[in-house]
Structure 1
Amino acid sequence: MEPTRVPPFYRLVFLYLEPISIFTGAVQAYFFQSAYLTLTHASSAPSVVPVSTSIVLTQLANLYLGLAITEALILRVTTEYSVWKALIIVLLIADVGHLYSVLPLGFSRAFLQCWNWNAIDWGNVGWVYFLAQTRISMLLGIGFGGRRAPGLKNA
C-alpha cells in the first residue's frame, strides 16, 4: 500500500507553524527570562531571576528547542502515517500536560477568561487548544478526503 499523503493543512501546522512557535518559546524562556516569568504570573515573578530559576528556564528552553527540531525533522523525513500518528499522539499527551500546568492560575482565569490573556496565556492555552484540536482531527482522519482512515499502512 502507498503511504498516506498528509493533507496540506496538517503539514502546514506540524511542519512549520508549531515548530516555529515552539522555537519562539525557547527563545523567550532563554533570552527573556524575567519577562517570561512576569507574563506567566506577574504577582509571583521575582524582580531578579534566581540562579535556580534561570537554570530551570534554560533547561525548558533546551527542551523546547529539542521538541521543535524533533517535530520539524521527523515529520519531514517520512510519509508514513504511522510515524506521524505516533508523534502526534505523544504531542497530544504533552498538550494535556501543558494545559494542566496552568491550573494553578485558577480554572476560570486559565481557561475561560481569554479577554484577560496576555501573549504567554495565548501560547499556553489558546494555541495549545488549537494544536490539540488539530491533532485530534488528524487522528480522526478529518480532511483526508474520501480515502479510508489513515494509519492503516502499519496499523
Structure 2
Amino acid sequence: MAPAASPIPAPYNLVFLYLEPASTLAGAVWAHFRQAEYLELTHAASAPPAQLIPTSTSIVLTQLANLYLLLCVNEALVLRATADVSVWKTFLLGLLLADFGHLASVRLVGSWVYWQVWKWNAIDWGNVGVVYVLAVVRICFLAGVGFEQKKKKKHA
C-alpha cells in the first residue's frame, strides 16, 4: 500500500522546511560570528567599533543567534514530523505573531525601512523584506490558499 500523499502543498513545504530554516540559520551565523557587521548593518550610527562591542551586547547577540538556531531546528524538525495541518497552522500562527514583533523591532531605524526598498542593505532585507514574504506565505497557509477544496456531497 502506497503512503498517503501529504495534505501540505509543495510550495509550503519548500518555504517552511527548507528556505526559512536556511535563512534563520544564516541569521544565527551572522548574529554570533559577525557581530560587528551585524550591528553596523542594523544601525550604523549607533554601532560600536568591532573592538569595542560591549560584552553585554555580544552576549545578547549570541542569545539572538541561539534563538534563530532554535527557530531553524524547530521549524525544520517539527514540521517534518507531521503532515497534520492543524499542527502546522498552530506553529505558523505563532511564527506570524513573531513576524509582527520582528517588524516592530526595527521601527527605531525609521519608518523608511518599511517601504524604501532601494535603501535596504542585507540586514534590512532579512529584517523586513524576508519577513514580509514569510508573513504573506503564512497568511496564505492559514487562509487555506493552495489546498485542495473538499468536495461537498450533494444531498438528494
So what's the TM-score if we normalise by structure 2?
0.90
Corresponding residue to 2:141 among 127, 138, 151: 138
Q: How does 1:3-152 map to 2 (within 5 A)?
A: 5-47=7-49, 48-107=52-111, 109-147=112-150
Q: Distance in 2 between the 1:16 and 1:52 partners?
A: 32
Count residues with an aligned counterpart.
Answer: 146
Q: For residue 144 of structure 2, what is the amino acid of its counterpart?
A: G
Q: CA deviation at 1:146?
A: 2.9
* Runs of at least 4 residues off by over 4 Å: none
Q: Distance in 1 between matches of 2:40 and 2:117?
A: 18
8 Å CA contact 1:95, 1:128 repeated in 2: yes
Deviation of the 1:89 alpha carbon: 0.2
| Residues 55-114 of structure 1, C-alpha deviations (whole Å, 9 max, x = no match) | 00000000110111000000000010110000000000000000000001111x210111
Structure 2 unaligned regions, length at least 5 = 152-156
**Shift in Å at residue 147 of structure 1?**
3.2
RMSD across aligned positions (CA): 1.4
Kept after mapping to 2: 8 A contact 1:4/1:81: no
Structure 2 counterpart of 1:125, one-letter code: V
For 1:153, the equivalent position in structure 2 comes to none
Task: Summarize deviations over 1:103-137 as a string: whole Å, max 9, x none.
Answer: 01111x21011100000000000000000000000
SS in 2 for 1:75: helix
1: CA distance, partners of 2:146 / 2:30: 34
Residue 4 (structure 1) shift: 6.2
TM-score of the aligned structures, taking structure 1 as reference length: 0.91
Q: Percent identity?
A: 58
